[in-house]
């Protein structure tokens, strides 16, 4: 399951991460992401609106790959899956959350930033991992160093990734995709500024296309 879904994320190249306070905004926001060129969204469990937002997106936008982020407890993973999430992302490596997701045949991308965490994930057969927090840990230079011994593992850098540096991350062949809140900041969502979201997503999609064209 994780590999198949990872291939979908790789096609997108970028995963919009959203922190949403009002579930009423979930569907309009998702439609703006789709119109910008990214039919994918990770709804973080940082707010009480996360579960309802996932349920609304899954029900109203079935073409969108919707996942749950900031999942740090098993009960959150259970609620997210039952609401319609198709993948789970965690900030760290929590064995209980990973084991639960695998017991439900749910794609899970735990966060790692050390060799020990990478190897713990590999022990459970996970080869696609979130690299977090990317920039505070040392950015692309650190990722290149830490990934060197693990040739089969690919990463989703998150944390400090932006329109200014996403191109360099995507150019590294060990990066599956990049993720971040810069595509739809909380302030834009609260203000209903979905036109700005659409424009920013379009810029990001163009960068993905340019990077991939350069790799050919």
Tens-place pLDDT, residues 105-154: 999 999 999 999 999 999 999 999 999 999 999 999 999 999 999 999 99
Catalytic residue ranges: 42, 130
For residues 156 and 17, is the Cβ–Cβ distance under 8 A?
no
Tokens coding 111: 């966060």
Contact 30, 61 (CB under 8 A): yes
Other CB atoms within 10 Å distance of the CB of residue 2: 20
Q: Would you say residue 100 has pLDDT above 90?
A: yes
**To which residue do tokens 């940082």 refer?**
46
The per-residue pLDDT for range 197-208, each reduced to its tens digit, is 999 999 999 999
Mean pLDDT computed over every residue of the chain: 97
Distance CA 98, CA 115 (A): 17
According to the model, what pLDDT value does residue 95 have?
Answer: 97
Q: Is the pLDDT assigned to residue 5 strictly greater than 70? A: yes
Q: Tell me what pLDDT residue 146 has.
A: 97
Question: What is the DSSP-derived secondary structure letter of residue 183?
Answer: T
The pLDDT value recorded for residue 216 is: 57
What's the sign of the alpha-carbon dihedral 173, 143, 117, 155?
A: negative
pLDDT surpassing 90 at residue 2: no
Q: How far is CA 134 from the centre of its chain?
A: 13
Question: Do residues 133 and 159 make contact, with C-beta atoms less than 8 angstroms apart?
Answer: yes
Question: Quick check: 99 pLDDT over 90?
Answer: yes
Task: Enter the CATH code of domain 2-209.
Answer: 3.20.20.70
Threshold 0.75, pTM exceeds: yes
C-beta separation of 60 from 39 below 8 A: no
Look at residues 119, 80, 114 and name the one whose alpha carbon lies nearest to residue 100. Answer: 80
Q: pLDDT tens for residues 160-179?
A: 999 999 999 999 999 999 99
- Chain CA centroid to CA 59, Å: 20
pLDDT at 43 over 90: yes
Whole-angstrom distance, CA of residue 159 vs CA of residue 126 = 21
Residue 3 confidence (pLDDT): 84
Structure tokens at 145: 């160093």
pLDDT, tens digit (0-9, with 9 covering 90-100), for 182-198? 999 999 999 999 999 99
> What percentage of the chain carries pLDDT values higher than 70?
99
pLDDT band per the 50, 70, 90 thresholds, residue 1: low
Question: Which two structure tokens, joined as six digits, stand for 200?
Answer: 């920013």
Burial 40-63 (b: 16+ CB within 10 A, else e): bbbbbbebebbbbbbbbbbeebee
How many C-beta neighbours within 10 Å does residue 156 have? 27
């Amino acid at each position: 399951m994780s590999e198949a879904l990872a291939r979908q994320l790789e096609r997108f190249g970028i995963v919009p991460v959203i922190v949403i306070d009002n579930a009423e905004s979930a569907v309009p926001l998702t439609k703006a992401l789709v119109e910008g060129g990214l039919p994918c969204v990770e709804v973080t469990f940082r707010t009480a609106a996360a579960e309802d937002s996932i349920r609304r997106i899954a029900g109203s936008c079935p073409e969108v790959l919707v996942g749950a982020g900031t999942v740090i407890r098993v009960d959150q993973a259970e609620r997210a899956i039952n609401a319609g999430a198709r993948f789970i992302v965690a900030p760290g490596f929590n064995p209980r959350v990973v084991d639960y997701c695998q017991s439900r045949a749910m794609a899970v991308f735990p966060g790692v930033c050390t060799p020990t965490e990478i190897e713990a994930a590999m022990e459970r057969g996970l080869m696609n991992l979130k690299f977090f927090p990317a920039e505070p840990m040392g950015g692309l230079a650190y990722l290149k160093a830490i990934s060197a011994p693990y040739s089969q593992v690919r990463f989703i850098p998150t944390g400090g990734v932006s329109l200014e540096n996403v191109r360099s991350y995507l150019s590294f062949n060990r990066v599956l995709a990049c993720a971040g809140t810069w595509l739809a900041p909380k302030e834009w969502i609260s203000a209903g500024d979905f036109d700005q979201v659409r424009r920013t997503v379009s810029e990001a999609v163009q960068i993905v296309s340019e990077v991939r064209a350069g790799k050919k």
